[in-house]
């Protein structure tokens, strides 16, 4: 069940209010205008990445999907690192190349098919195995599969997702807040420009309220 | 951004301005050049109308202040509508009373004022509960940020001032005007003095929370207590101390004007929050409460009413004593 | 007011490398005392109100994003965790928690049986704490439950949000005291800044200037006093002369390497860049790096364990409103009973923004897929208690030079860190305690982190013996009399509190000491 806790809520409805400032509008616009085509990954890597994104961060059907793969591609293309690297990992671009290739190799090893062609369950099973450190195909090289899983695969994809307004809407986050911050800081208190949570059965009413949030 | 030295200058300047204005007002009345708030029907009615004005001032302050604060509290408890309703009633009643020259208590106004005062008492209970149920109970954090303990008292005072105005009307033709057993002038004086002290304490608490970052914030913790002290002393001392009375009336006028200036200072304070008035949806609520300072005005007016009653009492004493002999 | 410009070729009295909690107060006080000061920072000079966005990803621009390698049994997370790169250093992104060291910690070895003694008396440090608290207008509680009586904080405490009240209730249930956290952000208008608007993006950079970072406090005052700041200026090497003393710094700015002559050099780049620079400045006279006769440059790296216990409440908490840590409990810093470990910890309420919270859920909680999405939806009902836990200094935890190079051709840092048994004991104790707390307030779905650290310290420790320390109590290196170190590297013990107040206090003291030394003619 996704996206129904805060029906009708959209942080972007506050773009022109004092909750958003100019640097924020520019930053979000830039993010939303990201090219959807890969600049770093080749075709196969791109397909594997897309398949992985769908499993790591399943998105609700009722809205346009956030382009997670494109965001990861952009990060790797710009070599936008985290400012540090676990020594067990090679630098960002190599880690991703290696990891995606290894994922495909593992899929071939288990199911004689590309990762892209596996069923969702099969993909999940493989990802769980990766998380548990059970994958040892030589394609991984010196990079432990579990470290690639946590530090790169899941980290980069989920960071991309939760940098998007659509994700903020799902979790009822107040969103950008400058110059206007918050007044009501106590429990069960929301400011008129925050999302209202819908208790079961009250989705319609709450949706009305959230649509008017400014 | 405003430097501390500029703030000091503004505070000193405002104090000087308020002092000058008070002196001018004082001198004007003394020379009988048109008592600003005089009435034609005699000192008692004059005092009663002044008390109505005081009550109105407080009621307006409560209406706007509790309106904003209870809105901030999302009217989570239905009872939070009560001070809005009752302060409106008190306001209307006082508006009626100000133009009423009849020397008798009004059938409707009286119970309205009583209910108003009572609801203020109940409100204090609610605020006490709100404070003590939070972690830390009587902690500084809760005194600063939970429902303000002293706020409903303004409603009590509004009701009490109105109630006194009715009693004073009733006693208008009595030889010795008494209100609840005490001579009218003493009763009103002591009540106004207590109100001034209590309001100063509330302002002091919140200005302490604001770290007295603007030196002008010391005004409401110095002038009103001084006015209260002088007023109480005057009431207890009797007519043989004309200098004391002079000072008392002057300080009451100062405090009256200070209450109005306070609203101006609070507007300035709101402007000093991030993005000032442009961010009004936040800053009007989190900034210093605009309607609060005029409660000092209302209480000082009550103090001035007490002085009117004292003068009347003196005249009666003089004439009465002469008659007795 | 226009900034004074110094020429590269004329030696300045003090070249300061790094403009954070160590470098900025020093730059201000030295300039005020009449010295000529140029301060360098590899990072950019931001104008928060005009340039900060309410967006975690965009604000990554505040952090050190050049590569560093992390290894050891518990490789550290750097970057946005603890490594600011900007004029103002890590104070631009810090969470503003401003706590004093417990007095006994300054004699940890003698009084408490662990770590090392500081070469400074606690009373003197507490006087400097007051100087910093006044300068930053710290907003703190009227009554502080722990330690000796302290003077009133210049501004009153902030309102405690729902997340902080959860800590308060947990502490009440556990029978320990709690307090509104003393924070370096205004609770009432200040001369140069408005009060906090409780927007909650503190660790992504304050866009209102309510936060009292070095950028908004020490640095403007330093400029007024005549100091010069050079942003986007990476110092790569400290030069020494034929007499073995430092003669200036090589820095890269506007596309070229330049050299600023200086009579004194202060290294204030925090606990990774400081040892890196000292090691990178090795030459024929000092083959092991500068100020390293003890061999301790880079060693004794300490962090704070930063594990948290998380839970879900029936109430809406909406912890994103306000500074992340509005309430604190220092109980386990001030008691020595019922502890099976050395050192102490404080714990604080939490308010992570979405991407940071997602990182916690995927990292320590190991969630992904639909499980992650479902868990993230509980965002507005979460509460958390997170420790700042003392770790012990060990020489095997260290910063060394790696074989990789950065874009300037300089060897990058390798950061090696592993927990020891004492650290683990402390964390276990804390997790048990905080779990009890959350259970007592009827939180559900309680889970705890196994792996998390924050802050850095120790890699150029201060002491009273040149064999066992890098610098003396005045932050002057034993080896080179005109080379100083003034940042988190100098802490001999890290304590159980956030280090920013202590670092700034040391910087203020160092400035006074330098002025005193200069008067006696003992400056280089």
For chain C, the domains span: 12-519
Query: Considering only CB atoms, which residues of chain B are within 8 Å of chain A?
Result: 72, 74, 274-275, 278-279, 281-282, 285-286
> Count of CB atoms within 10 A of residue A112's CB?
8
3-state secondary structure of A156: helix
Residue B32 — pLDDT band, cuts 50, 70, 90?
low
Q: Which of C437, C170, C457 is nearest to C305 (CA)?
A: C457
Measured on CA atoms in the order C171, C175, C179, C180, is the torsion positive or negative? positive
Q: What is the mean pLDDT of residues C99-114?
A: 98
Between vectors from CA C520 to CA C517 and to CA C523, what angle results, nearest 5°? 45
| ipTM score for this prediction | 0.97
Q: What is the mean pLDDT of residues B167-191?
A: 83
Cβ-nearest to C315 among A81, A180, A187: A187
Q: What is the mean pLDDT of residues C465-492?
A: 98
The whole-angstrom separation of Cα A63 and Cα A12 is 15
Q: What is the pTM of this model?
A: 0.96
Residue B323 — pLDDT band, cuts 50, 70, 90?
very low
Contact call for residues A52 and A157 (beta carbons, < 8 A):
yes
Q: How do residues B218-265 score in pLDDT, each as one tens digit?
A: 999 999 999 999 999 999 988 888 899 999 999 999 999 999 999 999
Chain C residues touching residue A170 (CB < 8 angstroms): 373, 376-377
Nearest CA of chain A to the CA of C336: how many Å?
34
Instruction: Give me the residue label for tokens 């033709």.
Output: B173
pLDDT at C59 over 70: yes
Q: How do residues C75-84 score in pLDDT, each as one tens digit?
A: 999 998 889 9
- Please report whether residue A57 resides in a domain: yes
Nearest CA of chain C to the CA of B120: how many Å?
26
Least confident of B22-31, B271-280, C121-130, C378-387: B22-31
Nearest CA of chain A to the CA of B135: how many Å?
13
Task: Give, for C155, the enclosing helix (H) or strand (E).
Answer: strand C155-156
Nearest CA of chain A to the CA of B284: how many Å?
10
CB neighbour burial string for A14-28, b if at least 16 within 10 angstroms, e if fewer: bbeebbbbebbbebb
3-state secondary structure of C45: coil
Q: How do residues C241-251 score in pLDDT, each as one tens digit?
A: 999 999 999 99
Query: A82, C317: Cβ pair inside 8 Å?
Result: no
- Please report whether residue A133 resides in a domain: yes
> What are chain A's partners, defined as 3 or more CB pairs within 8 angstroms?
B, C
pLDDT at A109 over 90: yes
Q: Which pair of tokens denotes residue B148?
A: 């303000």
Please report, in angstroms and rounded to a whole number, the separation of the first and last CA atoms in chain A: 26
Q: Look at residue B318 in the predicted model and tell me its pLDDT.
A: 64
Nearest CA of chain A to the CA of C435: how many Å?
21
> What are chain B's partners, defined as 3 or more CB pairs within 8 angstroms?
A, C
The whole-angstrom separation of Cα C326 and Cα C306 is 17
The whole-angstrom separation of Cα A109 and Cα A145 is 15
Query: C78, A82: Cβ pair inside 8 Å?
Result: yes
3-state secondary structure of C441: coil
Distances (CA, A) of B323 to B174, C30, C166, C185: 16, 84, 74, 71
Cβ-nearest to C55 among A58, A174, A176: A176
Cβ-nearest to B145 among C155, C159, C169: C159
Chain B residues touching residue A183 (CB < 8 angstroms): 72, 282, 285-286
Q: Look at residue B31 in the predicted model and tell me its pLDDT.
A: 60
Chain C residues touching residue B274 (CB < 8 angstroms): 194-195, 197, 208, 210
The whole-angstrom separation of Cα B22 and Cα C224 is 43
Nearest CA of chain B to the CA of A160: how many Å?
31
Chain A residues touching residue B275 (CB < 8 angstroms): 18, 179-180
Distance of CA B101 to the CA centre of its chain: 23
Query: C197, A81: Cβ pair inside 8 Å?
Result: no
Total domains in the fold of chain A: 1
| Nearest residue of A to residue B274, measured between CA atoms | A179
- Please report whether residue A182 resides in a domain: no
Q: What is the mean pLDDT of chain C?
A: 97
Cβ-nearest to C180 among B4, B141, B275: B141
Give the helix ranges, DSSP H, for chain B.
4-30, 43-72, 82-98, 109-132, 140-145, 151-170, 184-209, 219-237, 242-272, 280-286, 294-324
Query: B275, A18: Cβ pair inside 8 Å?
Result: yes
3-state secondary structure of C172: helix
Residue B34 — pLDDT band, cuts 50, 70, 90?
very low
pLDDT at A3 over 70: no
C12-519 belongs to CATH 3.50.50.60: yes
Chain A residues touching residue B285 (CB < 8 angstroms): 183
Query: A56, C57: Cβ pair inside 8 Å?
Result: no
Chain C residues touching residue B275 (CB < 8 angstroms): 194
Q: How do residues A54-100 score in pLDDT, each as one tens digit?
A: 999 999 988 899 999 999 999 999 988 899 999 999 999 999 999 99
Query: B4, C191: Cβ pair inside 8 Å?
Result: yes
The whole-angstrom separation of Cα C135 and Cα C91 is 14
- Please report whether residue A199 resides in a domain: no
Q: Which residues pair with C248 in a beta bridge?
A: C239, C261
Nearest CA of chain C to the CA of A128: how many Å?
10
Chain A residues touching residue B286 (CB < 8 angstroms): 183
Query: A159, C358: Cβ pair inside 8 Å?
Result: yes
- How many Cβ contacts (< 8 angstroms) between chains A and C? 203
Q: Does C43 touch chain A (CB under 8 A)?
A: no
- Please report whether residue A50 resides in a domain: yes
- How many Cβ contacts (< 8 angstroms) between chains B and C? 63
pLDDT at B38 over 70: no
Task: Give, for A45, the enclosing helix (H) or strand (E).
Answer: helix A43-56
Q: Which pair of tokens denotes residue C279?
A: 């090691």
Q: Does A182 touch chain B (CB under 8 A)?
A: yes
- Please report whether residue A186 resides in a domain: no
Residue B317 — pLDDT band, cuts 50, 70, 90?
low
In a mutational test of the C interface, the residue from A162, A175, A193 whose CB has the highest number of chain C CBs within 10 Å is A162
3-state secondary structure of C402: strand
Q: C-contacting residues of A 35-64, CB under 8 Å?
A: 55-58
Cβ-nearest to C191 among B2, B136, B141: B2
A69: containing domain: 32-165
Distances (CA, A) of A11 to A125, A176, B86, B192, C59: 35, 8, 39, 51, 18
Distances (CA, A) of C414 to A84, B103, B272, C26: 9, 92, 47, 28
């Amino acid at each position: 069940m996704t996206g129904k806790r805060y029906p009708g809520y959209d942080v972007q409805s506050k773009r022109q209010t004092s909750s958003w400032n100019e640097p924020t509008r520019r930053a979000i616009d830039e993010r939303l205008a990201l090219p959807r085509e890969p600049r770093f990954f080749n075709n196969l890597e791109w397909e594997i990445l897309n398949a992985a994104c769908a499993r790591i961060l399943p998105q609700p059907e009722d809205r346009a999907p956030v382009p997670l793969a494109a965001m990861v591609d952009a990060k790797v293309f710009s070599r936008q690192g985290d400012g540090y690297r676990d020594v067990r990992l090679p630098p960002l671009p190599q880690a991703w190349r290696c990891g995606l290739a290894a994922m495909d190799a593992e899929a071939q090893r288990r199911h004689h098919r590309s990762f892209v062609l596996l069923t969702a369950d099969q993909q999940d099973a493989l990802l769980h195995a990766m998380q548990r450190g059970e994958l040892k195909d030589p394609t991984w090289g010196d990079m432990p599969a579990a470290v690639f899983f946590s530090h790169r695969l899941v980290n980069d994809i989920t960071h991309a997702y939760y940098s998007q307004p659509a994700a903020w809407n799902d979790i009822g986050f107040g969103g950008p807040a400058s110059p206007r911050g918050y007044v009501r800081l106590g429990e069960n208190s929301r400011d008129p420009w925050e999302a209202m949570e819908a208790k079961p059965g009250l989705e319609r009413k709450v949706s009305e309220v959230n649509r008017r949030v400014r | 951004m405003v430097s501390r030295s500029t703030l000091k200058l503004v505070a000193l300047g405002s104090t000087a301005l308020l002092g000058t204005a008070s002196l001018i007002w004082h001198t004007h009345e003394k020379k009988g050049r048109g008592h600003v708030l005089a009435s034609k029907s005699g000192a008692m009615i004059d005092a009663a109308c002044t008390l109505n004005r005081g009550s109105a001032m407080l009621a307006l302050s409560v209406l706007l202040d509790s309106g904003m604060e209870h809105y901030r509290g999302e009217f989570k408890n239905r009872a939070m509508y009560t001070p809005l309703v009752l302060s409106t009633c008190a306001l209307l009643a006082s508006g009626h009373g100000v133009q009423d020259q009849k020397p008798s208590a009004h059938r409707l106004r009286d119970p309205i004022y009583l209910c108003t005062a009572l609801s203020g008492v109940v409100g204090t209970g609610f605020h006490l509960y709100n404070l003590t149920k939070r972690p830390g109970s009587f902690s500084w954090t809760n005194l600063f940020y939970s429902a303000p303990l002293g706020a409903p008292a303004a409603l009590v005072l509004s009701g009490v001032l109105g109630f006194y105005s009715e009693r004073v009307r009733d006693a208008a033709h009595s030889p010795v005007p008494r209100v609840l057993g005490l001579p009218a002038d003493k009763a009103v004086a002591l009540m106004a003095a207590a109100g001034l002290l209590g309001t100063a304490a509330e302002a002091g608490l919140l200005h302490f929370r604001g770290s007295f970052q603007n030196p002008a914030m010391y005004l409401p913790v110095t002038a009103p207590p001084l006015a209260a002290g002088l007023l109480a002393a005057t009431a207890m001392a009797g007519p043989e101390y004309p200098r004391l009375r002079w000072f008392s009336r002057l300080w009451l006028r100062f405090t009256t004007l200070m209450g109005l200036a306070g609203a101006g200072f609070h507007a300035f304070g709101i402007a000093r929050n991030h993005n000032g008035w442009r961010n009004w949806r936040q800053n009007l609520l989190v900034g210093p409460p605009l309607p609060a300072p005029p409660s000092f005005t209302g209480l000082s007016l009550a103090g001035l009413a007490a002085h009117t009653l004292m003068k009347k009492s003196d005249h009666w004493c003089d004439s009465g004593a002469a008659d007795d002999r | 007011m226009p900034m004074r410009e110094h020429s590269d070729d004329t030696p300045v009295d003090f070249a300061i490398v790094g403009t954070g909690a160590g470098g900025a107060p020093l730059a201000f006080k030295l300039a005020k005392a009449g010295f000529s000061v140029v301060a360098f920072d590899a990072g950019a000079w931001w104008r928060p109100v005009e340039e900060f966005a309410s967006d975690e990803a965009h604000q990554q621009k505040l952090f050190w994003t050049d590569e560093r390698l992390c290894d050891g049994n518990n490789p550290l997370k750097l970057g946005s965790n603890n490594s600011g790169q900007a004029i103002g250093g890590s104070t631009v992104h810090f969470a503003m928690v401003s706590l004093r060291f417990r007095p006994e910690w300054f004699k940890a070895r003698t009084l408490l049986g662990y770590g090392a003694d500081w070469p400074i008396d606690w009373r003197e440090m507490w006087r400097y704490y007051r100087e910093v608290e006044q300068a930053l207008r710290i907003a703190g509680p009227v009554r502080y439950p722990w330690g000796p009586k302290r003077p009133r904080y210049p501004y009153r405490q902030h309102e405690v949000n729902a997340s902080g009240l959860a800590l308060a209730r947990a502490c009440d249930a556990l029978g320990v005291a709690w307090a509104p956290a003393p924070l370096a952000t205004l609770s009432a208008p200040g001369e140069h800044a408005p009060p906090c608007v409780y927007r909650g993006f503190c660790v992504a950079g304050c866009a209102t200037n309510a936060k009292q970072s070095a950028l908004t406090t020490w640095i403007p005052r330093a400029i007024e006093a005549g100091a010069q700041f050079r942003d986007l200026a990476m110092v790569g090497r400290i030069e020494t002369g034929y007499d073995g003393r430092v003669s200036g710094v090589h820095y890269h700015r506007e596309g070229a390497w330049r050299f600023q002559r200086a009579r004194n050099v202060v290294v204030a780049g925090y606990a990774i860049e400081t040892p890196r620079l000292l090691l990178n400045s090795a030459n024929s006279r000092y083959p092991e790096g500068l100020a390293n006769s003890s061999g301790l440059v880079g060693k004794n790296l300490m962090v704070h364990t930063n594990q948290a216990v998380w839970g879900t409440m029936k109430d809406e908490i909406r912890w994103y409103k306000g500074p992340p840590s509005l309430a604190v409990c220092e109980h386990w810093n001030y008691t020595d009973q019922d502890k099976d470990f050395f050192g102490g910890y404080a714990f604080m309420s939490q308010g992570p923004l979405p991407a940071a919270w997602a990182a916690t859920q995927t990292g320590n909680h190991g969630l992904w897929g639909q499980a992650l999405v479902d868990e993230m939806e509980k965002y507005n009902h979460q509460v958390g208690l997170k420790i700042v836990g003392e770790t012990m200094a060990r020489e095997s935890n260290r910063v060394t030079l790696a074989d990789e190079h950065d874009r300037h051709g300089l060897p990058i840092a390798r950061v090696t860190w592993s927990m020891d048994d004492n650290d683990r004991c402390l964390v276990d104790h804390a997790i048990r305690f905080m779990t009890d707390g959350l259970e007592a307030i009827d939180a559900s779905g309680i889970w705890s982190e196994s792996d998390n650290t924050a802050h850095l310290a120790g890699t150029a420790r201060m002491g009273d013996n040149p064999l066992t320390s890098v610098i003396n109590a005045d932050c002057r290196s034993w080896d080179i009399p005109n080379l100083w170190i003034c940042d988190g590297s100098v802490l001999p013990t890290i304590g159980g509190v956030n280090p920013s107040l202590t670092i700034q206090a040391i910087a203020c003291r160092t400035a006074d000491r330098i002025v005193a030394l200069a008067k006696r003619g003992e400056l280089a």
